[in-house]
Amino acid sequence: MGRGRMRPFTIVAGDFVTTGGMDAANYALADFLRRQSREVHVVAHRIAASLAGGVTVHRVHRPLGSHMLGAPLLAREGRYWAGVMRRRGGVSVVNGGNCVGQVNWLHYVHAVHAPLGTRGIRRVLGAMLHQRDRDDEARAARAATLVIANSERTRADAIERLGVAPERVHRVYYGTDASRFRIPSATERASARARLGISGSEPVMIFIGALGDRRKGFDTLYSAWQSLQREGWRGTLLVAGAGAELDSWRARAAAAGLGRSIQFLGFRQDIRELLAASDAIVAPSRYEAYGLAVQEALCCGIPAIVSAQSGIAERGAGAGMLRLQSAEDANELLVRILEWSSSREAHAAGAREIGATLAQWSWDAMSRQIVELAEAHVS
């Protein structure tokens, strides 16, 4: 490499899109490197059109849309381009167990949580996939020169569960887009609620997450919500997320007479607008390495009820972020919802205070720190 030339990067990840936690983070890093006029290669199944024009894309087929079938193909292509970068004096950044690279960006630690909720052949295949992911993740993390963790919780898991030496693991929190995730105006709020058919002043809570392996804890929230309705508490619960159990949850809620109080929205990309319609976010996750949706809600001034063990719980304290000690305890969650409901303005003020701090850490700030760490540790 010529003197003063910026080092090229390869990033290996499943998807580079602006929706989803790790996907949005990978997109942000690639976009930052592109805007630095670096040579950037991305190895991925899917990449947003807004990014594809500025980087070299090595697209990998995902047969039948299956992660299980696509992962070996991504690993093979990722290993090849990671090797190219190493020989050229560049830097390779991989995600978890997708392949071995110089920098391993851990968004999730499979060794911490086993999938729940599936049955029959899906359960068997899920267990096989989980074990493969655990093995690949541990091998790739231990082989990396540098490991980036998205929270202190993830950093501790990398050390304790994956056996990575502490001095090789550095925490870098996710950034945010403060121009998009901000406190909505009264007009924006009214418009968002009208589009959802919500009128009046009854509280609106939102759950964002997949309805598949129950990691996000919707079953706990559903039980708490049933109890609230039986006690005469009135409100609307927005459920934004798809997954294998979506139809069964929708049918179950209808049979229980909850069809009017729970709106199952499926997969949505308009999260900013849904947050504008909401008064609080509920995230009773059994395992959450970070929790980008909660961060985005807080930046919009929306209080959060979160699992105390989630990564995002590290980022603030007080009225704006109510902690749930057990993701299995529907009664505790019910108490937290009533606690929030009894003093909504105080909790909203707390959320605005936390959100103002979070909004100062942008996606570019995150990306810059990752690049500086990578260039300092990878020879």
Residue-wise pLDDT tens digits, 80-112 = 999 999 999 999 999 999 999 999 999 999 999
**Does 130 have pLDDT greater than 90?**
no
269 exposed, middle or buried (CB, 10 Å; 0-12, 13-18, 19+)? Answer: exposed
For residue 1, being part of any structural domain is answered with no
- Segment (H or E) for 337: helix 330-342
Enclosing domain of residue 131:
9-175+361-377
Residue that is written with structure tokens 């159990």 in the block: 245
Q: Which residues contact 160 (CB under 8 A, 6 or more apart)?
A: none
From residue 378, alpha-carbon distances to 30, 102, 340, 344 in Å are: 18, 7, 47, 48
Give the whole-angstrom CA distance, residue 176 versus residue 146.
23
Q: What is the CATH number of the domain that holds 328?
A: 3.40.50.2000
Cα–Cα distances in angstroms (integers) from residue 88 to residues 82, 242, 291, in the given order:
10, 42, 36
Domain assignment of residue 2, yes or no: no
Q: What is the pLDDT of residue 175?
A: 98
Mean pLDDT of 21-30: 96
Q: Are 320 and 326 in contact (CB under 8 A)?
A: no
| Alpha carbon separation from 216 to 224, 228, 280 (Å, rounded) | 14, 20, 16
Instruction: Report how far residue 192's alpha carbon sits from residue 225's, in angstroms, rounded to the nearest whole number.
Output: 23
Query: CA 54 to CA 47: how far, in whole Å?
Result: 11
What pLDDT is recorded for position 123?
64
pLDDT (average), residues 168-179: 97
Task: Measure the CA–CA gap between 8 and 86, rounded to whole angstroms.
Answer: 10
Considering the domain architecture, whether residues 220 and 340 belong to the same structural domain is answered as yes
In the chain, the percentage of residues whose pLDDT exceeds 90 is: 85
How many domains would you assign to the chain?
Answer: 2
Give pTM, 2 decimals.
0.93
**Is the domain of 170 the same as that of 81?**
yes
Q: Are 332 and 363 in contact (CB under 8 A)?
A: no
- As a whole number of Å, the CA-based R_g of the chain is 21
d(Cα 176, Cα 128) in Å, to the nearest integer? Answer: 35
| pLDDT in the model for residue 3 | 39
- Regarding whether 353 and 367 lie in a shared domain, the answer is no
